[in-house]
């Protein structure tokens, strides 16, 4: 009983900020009062507040760009990572372990260390504040994780499958697309979900490498909107924008949690 009571109390404490967010994001924009933040207003204005945020901060362009980044970059990342794992494990690339360390070693450095070099390099290359530049960046960031998971997955696949396909006259490229890529779908899906969430919630790279409303990620736009709260934007409008924009990742995880867990288990070390 004591353990259950402690867990209930801790759960309520953890849900407290979420409750405050839901209650105040659903208030009419002109009825926010810090003194009654814990008390529901009785009116549900979440969608109206979000519409006001979209219109006032022009979030439509940021949402479209973020959807593009969150779908295209993970797709490219998992395919390139799968190719790297396939080349290292199945094709037995010479010094494959060191190539793997080179690919995965990029994750050792904190992302903050990359901001200044990226800003300078993107400015010189004409990629600053461009969708192509953001897709390129997010793809490069996603490749190491995909390569790690798929390398482990392909290590558990019998090499005789590759040999049998070669005996039937299939090329190495055809074997990858017709055999190895389909059988690793679950692991690919798990990595895609994880990388989709990372890109959708990214703030740091969006702040550093974008400027215009059409190119910047939506979390960067939300951060700017929350800054404007002190300049006249109603608090419920800012909270509603943050809440609604966060829903896609929550819904994606809830809808694919079994696939996600199974995919990461398949991609674990054998």
**d(C-alpha 125, C-alpha 8), whole Å:** 54
pLDDT tens, 100-159? 888 887 777 788 888 899 999 999 999 999 999 999 999 999 999 888 888 888 888 888
Q: What φ, ψ does residue 224 adopt, rounded to 5°?
A: -65, -35
Determine the average pLDDT of the residues in 151-179.
88
SS3 40: coil
Would you tell me how many other CB atoms lie within 10 Å of the CB of residue 138?
22
**d(C-alpha 223, C-alpha 207), whole Å:** 9
More confident residue, 263 or 189: 189
SS3 33: coil
Domain covering 60-266 in this structure, CATH number:
1.10.3720.10
Q: What φ, ψ does residue 127 adopt, rounded to 5°?
A: -100, -5
Q: Sketch the domain layout of the chain as residue ranges.
A: 60-266
Would you tell me how many other CB atoms lie within 10 Å of the CB of residue 55?
11
Question: Cβ(149)–Cβ(202) under 8 Å?
Answer: no
Q: Across 8-12, 47-51, 100-104, 124-128, which has the greatest mean pLDDT?
A: 124-128
Tell which residue, 24, 46, 70, 65, has the closest CA to residue 249: 70
pLDDT, position 31: 78
* pTM reported for the whole predicted model: 0.85
């Amino acid at each position: 009983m004591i353990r259950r009571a402690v867990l209930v109390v801790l759960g309520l404490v953890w849900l407290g900020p979420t409750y405050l967010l839901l209650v105040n994001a659903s208030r009419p924009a002109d009825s926010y009062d810090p003194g009654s933040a814990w008390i529901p207003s009785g009116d549900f204005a979440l969608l109206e507040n979000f519409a006001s945020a979209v219109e006032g901060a022009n979030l439509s362009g940021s949402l479209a760009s973020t959807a593009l980044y969150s779908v295209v970059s993970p797709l490219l990342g998992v395919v390139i990572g799968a190719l790297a794992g396939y080349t290292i494990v199945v094709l037995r690339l010479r010094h494959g372990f060191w190539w793997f360390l080179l690919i995965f070693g990029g994750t050792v450095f904190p992302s903050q260390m990359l901001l200044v070099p990226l800003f300078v390099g993107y400015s010189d290359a004409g990629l600053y504040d461009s969708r192509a530049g953001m897709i390129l960046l997010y793809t490069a960031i996603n490749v190491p994780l995909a390569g790690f998971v798929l390398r482990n997955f392909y290590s558990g696949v019998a090499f005789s499958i590759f040999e049998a396909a070669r005996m039937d006259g299939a090329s190495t490229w055809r074997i990858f697309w017709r055999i190895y890529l389909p059988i690793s779908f679950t692991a690919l899906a798990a990595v895609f979900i994880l990388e989709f969430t990372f890109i959708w919630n990214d703030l740091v790279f969006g702040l550093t490498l974008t400027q215009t409303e059409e190119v910047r990620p939506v979390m960067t736009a939300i951060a700017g909107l929350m800054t404007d709260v002190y300049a006249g934007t109603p608090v419920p409008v800012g909270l509603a924008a943050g809440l609604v924009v966060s829903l896609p990742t929550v819904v994606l995880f809830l809808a694919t949690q079994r696939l996600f867990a199974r995919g990461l288990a398949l991609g674990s070390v054998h």
